Amino acid sequence: MKYYVIPALLLASHVTSVFAAEPTLDTENKRFSYTVGFQMAQGLKQQGLDVDADAMILAIRDVLTGAPLKLTLEEMQAASRAYIEKGEKEKKAAAEKNKKAGDAYLAENGKKKGVVTTASGLQYTVIKEGAGKKPLPADSVSVHYRGTLVNGEEFDSSIARGQPVTFPVNGVIQGWQEVLPMMTQGSKWKVVIPASLAYGEHGNNAIEPNQTLIFEIELLSIN
């Protein structure tokens, strides 16, 4: 389900003190206000912003009730710049660390028996060979998969959710687009995908910059 943040100006007449006892959601207005808070928080999480909830609520209260601001606009601009600069430094450090770890993993993994390294640098091992046909880039496939980082940490798994996923072959990361057309229906492979074929230098909310990803992929069906 998709949620949309309602402009804060619409809330001005509906705000109560955030420092009162925890409200019971026993009126339409309170449930509406809670919903808006949920939408705002979801947006912040999706953007990966690290915010202090108490300080943020204080600012909302001050603006919507007309109370004196605790920071000047100049101080807020400085705080925003400092936050961005700190984030960029952390991102750069993480990218360098992850690249070294990924390169080391690929170098060692490539020496193992049964590992095939393609021209792009992607590596795969056949766990179970299927007997069906191979998908084309325009096909849709259903798969089970488990994704881990080079340190063994699991970051995603359709198996854990108990539900395979279906998607077009040409609608996923480059590493998957390369490997899926090589797999036969019914096969299961372990695939190591360099960052350049995954989420690259930018990463996403779940993946840090330059992280090498490891997947066990089982190709269930071609649709």
Which amino acids are annotated catalytic? 145, 155-156, 173, 199, 215
- How, if at all, do strands 213-222 and 188-193 pair? antiparallel
Helix (H/G/I), strand (E/B), else coil: 145 = strand
φ, ψ (nearest 5 deg) of residue 192: -110, 120
Cα dist. 214→42, 48, 154 in Å? 28, 23, 9
Nearest-angstrom CA–CA distance, 140 and 166? 7
CA 157 to each of CA 26, 78, 143, 153, 218: distance values in angstroms, whole numbers, following the listed order: 38, 41, 11, 11, 12
Per DSSP bridges, beta strands 140-149 and 116-117 are unpaired
